[in-house]
Structure formats: C-alpha cells, structure tokens
C-alpha cells in the first residue's frame, strides 16, 4: 500500500502565533467556511479518562455508579453515545468489566491507549470494539516529546492504526495538539493515509481533533492552526473524513471549551467529547451538561433524555467524590438560577419568564430562587417564599402582602446594625414560620436557629 508522503521534515512551531514570551496571537485571513451541520450529531464522554486525571482516583463502585447515571441521563436517546476508560491498572480493567455487565447500548464503552502494540493487547483481551490512540501531531510533540521527525511519526501512527484494523478494532486517532500543528504539512497527509486504511479494511477510522491547550478559536476568518471551522472543514473536505468520524476534544484554557465544541458541530463534525462538569487538567474540558444545552438549541430537542438526572449527578460528585462545583456554574451550580437584584426579583414575581430563560424546575428539577440581602425589597422576599416553598400560582404571595412587611423590617434592622452577609435560608424559614404560619405550620427548628428571630 502506497501512503502519501510527508514532504516537509523541518519543524514549524508557528512562533508568529505562539511567541512563548507573550500571549498567543490570533491571525486573520478572512476565509469564510459555510455552516454545514451534520444530520446527526452527538456527545461523547471522557470523565473516566481525561476527567479522572484531574481528581482523586475513582473506585470501581464510583465508576459503576457514574456510568449508571450517564445511562439514565441519556435515557436511550443515543445523544451521549460513548464513554472512554483507561486500561492500565487492574482497577481500571475491573471497572470496565463491571460496566460491561450492565449491557447498556448507550453510552458505549471504549478505551484509550498509547500508540503501542502492547497497549493494543489490553484492548483485545477485554474485547473492546473501539479504542482511542494517542497520535501527537504538532511539531512541539513530534520533535520535543517523541524525539522523532515527521516521517518517523507518520509510520509509527499508521502501523498501530493498521494493527487495530487487522484485529477488527475501530481506531479513534487522537490528533493531539491539533491547534498548534502544521495542517497542510502533517495533518492532511496523516488524515488521508488513515482514510486509505479505512477503505482497505472496510472499517471506520475516526479522527478526534484534540485542542490540547485550548488554543482553538471558534469563529471563521482565522488562520490555521487555531481556526476550529478551518480544522473541521479541512478534515472533511481535504482529508476526506466523513462527518460521523470527526470528533472534537476541547480544553477551556482560553474560555472557549463550549463554543469550540459547538463550532465543530456547525462546520461539519458530528461529535463533541466532554466530561461531566468540565473536570479535567488545568482549566478542564468541555462540560457535558453544557454541550447538552448546545445540542438542544441547535437541534430543538433533547429527544427522551432525562435532564433532571444532571442535578443528582452534581450532588453525587460533591458529596461522594468531593468535587467542588462553583456555585455559579451554568445549569448545575447552587446559584445558577438565583438572583440577588431586587428589580430582577420583582420581575420574577410578576412572571418567571422575565428573568428565567427556561423552565428550570420542569427540565432540571431546580426552582428559580432569590438570595435575600439589603437590596431585595418586598418583591425579593415574596419571590423567595414562593420559590422556596414551591407555592402554586393560586397560593403564591405578592409583594403587596402585608404579612411580609414585618419580615422586611427585621431584615432592614439587620443591615442597619452593620450586617454585610446575605440572609440565610434557615433565618428566612423562621421568619416565615412566625409571620406566615399558614405556609409552614409544621416547621420545627432547633434552639440555635430560634435565636435569630
């Protein structure tokens, strides 16, 4: 079989875009790429592989539980299509076996290995049908990390991909550091050669475009190697990779993790790789839950996914795994749909849709709430009561209800006396018990709490 040769042997480090002593540069060329969203798009997960590297190791039981959660969240929709595992320790292999016993179609269990034949033996032993293979493609990695030149790296990668195909295993080729790679000089010939192998064996070969340092830029008109639209367009139309075989793996170093994943979908890649809550090294990966909401906005549906499970998973990560989720994290943080501004609370009191962009209670099992401070006013207090006690429309109170005036007076005195913190929920519950007894007649508080009123 004749492969496309690598013609440039000297390294290109793109120093005009990546001057190490300065912040990286964005260079523009005004080349426009058309939006071509694949008919079918989906999400993959790397919580057990890339995500787990950033936290304490999970136990077999914890991995099994989270795998159950992912299955329940997907709910046989096929939107969360795959998840990947390490294979190197006995614990990793036991976790895979435990998850395989469940027999779930989604997410499919895949693995990740280095581009080494001894690693491939582990995939074969566990009878895994698809595996990721690390193929570092920037000259930073080829010359500095691997100590090879481009010709040597090309042969090294093609040999292990062909070995997988010979054994009936789908190779998912992880093009590491693609946003600092010479696209024309190395990505294109490697991609085309992998597609030749795909045709030879009549099997799919996947390409995962890995934005290892989060340097990708989501908008058009930007020069390679940083342009996500140009990378995805090039993989499709220059390398000949089918949309269904293109996957984006992004990091959030420059705050573009989510939008770069969305850009992959918009410009022709079918799959975006994620972790739960964006866990991952340095600033983390594209958050799985955020990409679900990107998917929903693009496709207009989440099929039969059970998004209420997201809140349960967040509780599990915090309480069982000790992962602290920042309170303002979209969709999962404790305060993601909480407002402190009095004027916003007044709007929420009049109609939830004014300051709540979707029904968070129906979709995520999270009622919109307000935090009470010196600026909340009567509207804020009424909104807190209605939200905290989940009062129906016919029972909710309004800001003109005289019963909440004593509550406002108590709060005003707190701040007049020098208080600087928000009013705690347990304090508010006691105030409601005292001044709105018909709402919470059965509330019982301990002596410490009772002292606050």
pLDDT in tens, 108-146: 999 999 999 999 999 999 999 999 999 999 999 999 999
Cα–Cα distance for residue pair 363/371, rounded to 1 Å: 22
Q: What is the pLDDT of residue 348?
A: 61
pLDDT in tens, 240-254: 999 999 999 999 999
Q: What is the pLDDT of residue 143?
A: 97
With pLDDT > 90 as the criterion, what percentage of the chain qualifies?
A: 77
Residue 19 pLDDT exceeds 90: yes
Q: What is the pLDDT of residue 293?
A: 98
Q: What is the pLDDT of residue 191?
A: 98
The DSSP element (H or E) to which 67 belongs, if any, is: helix 60-74
Burial 218-229 (b: 16+ CB within 10 A, else e): bebebbbbbbbb
- Joined tokens for residue 310: 């997201």
- Joined tokens for residue 89: 């320790």
Q: What is the pLDDT of residue 337?
A: 82
| Mean pLDDT, rounded, for 202-229 | 98
Q: What is the pLDDT of residue 25?
A: 98
Q: What is the pLDDT of residue 369?
A: 75
pLDDT in tens, 159-186: 999 999 999 999 999 999 999 999 999 9
Check residues 371 and 21 and name the one with the higher pLDDT: 21
The DSSP element (H or E) to which 351 belongs, if any, is: none
Q: Which of 11-15, 147-151, 399-403, 439-443 bottoms out in mean pLDDT, i.e. has the lowest?
A: 439-443
Name the band, by pLDDT with cuts 50, 70 and 90, for residue 448: very low
Q: Centre a 10 Å sphere on the Cβ of residue 441 and count the other Cβ atoms it contains.
A: 8
Cα–Cα distance for residue pair 361/380, rounded to 1 Å: 19
- Joined tokens for residue 70: 């992912």
Q: Rounded to 10 degrees, what is the CA torsion of 131, 106, 269, 4?
A: 20
Residue 440 pLDDT exceeds 80: no
Q: What is the pLDDT of residue 377?
A: 84
Cβ 314 vs Cβ 332: under 8 Å: yes
Cβ 258 vs Cβ 62: under 8 Å: no
| Mean pLDDT, rounded, for 331-355 | 73
| Mean pLDDT, rounded, for 204-232 | 98
Q: What is the pLDDT of residue 356?
A: 82
Cα–Cα distance for residue pair 287/279, rounded to 1 Å: 7
Name the band, by pLDDT with cuts 50, 70 and 90, for residue 340: low
Name the band, by pLDDT with cuts 50, 70 and 90, for residue 451: very low
Q: What is the pLDDT of residue 250?
A: 98
| Mean pLDDT, rounded, for 89-106 | 97
| Mean pLDDT, rounded, for 332-340 | 81
Cα–Cα distance for residue pair 18/25, rounded to 1 Å: 6
Domains identified in the chain and CATH numbers: 42-319 (3.20.20.70), 340-450 (no CATH)
Q: Which of 37-51, 219-233, 381-395 bottoms out in mean pLDDT, i.e. has the lowest?
A: 381-395
Cα–Cα distance for residue pair 426/430, rounded to 1 Å: 6
Q: What is the pLDDT of residue 350?
A: 66
Q: What is the pLDDT of residue 231?
A: 98
Q: What is the pLDDT of residue 426?
A: 83
Residue 378 pLDDT exceeds 60: yes
Cα–Cα distance for residue pair 8/185, rounded to 1 Å: 6
Q: What is the pLDDT of residue 441?
A: 44
Mean pLDDT of the chain: 92
Residue 351 pLDDT exceeds 80: no
| Mean pLDDT, rounded, for 301-312 | 97
């Amino acid at each position: 079989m004749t492969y496309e040769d690598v013609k440039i042997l000297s390294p290109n480090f793109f120093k005009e875009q990546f001057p190490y002593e300065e912040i990286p540069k964005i260079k523009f060329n005004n080349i426009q790429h058309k939006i071509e969203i694949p008919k079918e798009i989906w999400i993959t997960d790397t919580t057990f592989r890339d995500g787990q590297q950033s936290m304490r190791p999970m136990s077999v039981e914890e991995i099994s539980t989270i795998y159950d959660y992912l299955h329940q969240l997907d709910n046989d929709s096929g939107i969360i299509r795959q998840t990947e595992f390490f294979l190197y320790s006995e614990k990793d292999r036991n976790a895979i076996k435990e998850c395989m016993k469940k027999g779930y179609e989604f997410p499919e269990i895949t693995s990740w290995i280095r581009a080494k034949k001894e690693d491939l033996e582990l995939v074969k032993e566990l009878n895994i049908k698809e595996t990721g293979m690390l193929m570092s493609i920037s000259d930073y990695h080829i010359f500095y990390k691997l100590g090879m030149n481009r010709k040597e790296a090309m042969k090294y990668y093609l040999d292990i991909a062909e070995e997988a195909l010979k054994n009936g295993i789908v190779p998912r080729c992880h093009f590491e550091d693609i946003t600092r790679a010479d696209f024309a000089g190395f990505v294109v010939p490697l991609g085309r050669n992998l597609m030749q192998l795909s045709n030879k064996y009549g099997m799919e070969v996947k390409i995962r475009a890995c934005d290892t340092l989060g340097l990708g830029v989501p908008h058009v008109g930007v020069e390679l190697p940083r342009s996500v639209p140009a990378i995805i367009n090039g993989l499709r139309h220059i390398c000949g990779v089918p949309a269904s075989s293109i996957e984006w793996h992004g990091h959030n170093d420059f705050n573009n993790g989510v939008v770069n994943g969305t850009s992959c979908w918009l410009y022709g890649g079918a799959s975006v790789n994620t972790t739960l809550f964006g866990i991952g090294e340095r600033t983390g990966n594209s958050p799985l839950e955020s990409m679900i909401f990107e998917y929903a906005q693009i496709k207009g549906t989440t099929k039969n996914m059970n998004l209420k499970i997201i809140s349960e998973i967040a509780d599990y990560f915090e309480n069982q795994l000790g992962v602290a989720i920042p309170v303002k994290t979209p969709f999962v943080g404790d305060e993601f749909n909480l407002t402190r501004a009095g004027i916003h609370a007044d709007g929420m009191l009049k109609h939830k849709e004014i300051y709540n962009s979707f029904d968070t209670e129906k979709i995520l099992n999270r009622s919109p709430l307000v935090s009470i401070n010196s600026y909340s006013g009567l509207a804020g207090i009424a909104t807190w009561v209605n939200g905290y006690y989940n009062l129906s429309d016919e029972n909710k109170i309004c800001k003109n209800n005289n019963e909440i005036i004593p509550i406002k007076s108590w709060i005003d005195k707190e701040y007049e006396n020098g208080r600087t913190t928000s009013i705690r929920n347990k304090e508010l519950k006691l105030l409601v018990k005292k001044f709105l007894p018909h709402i919470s007649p059965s509330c019982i508080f301990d002596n410490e709490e009772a002292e606050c009123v």
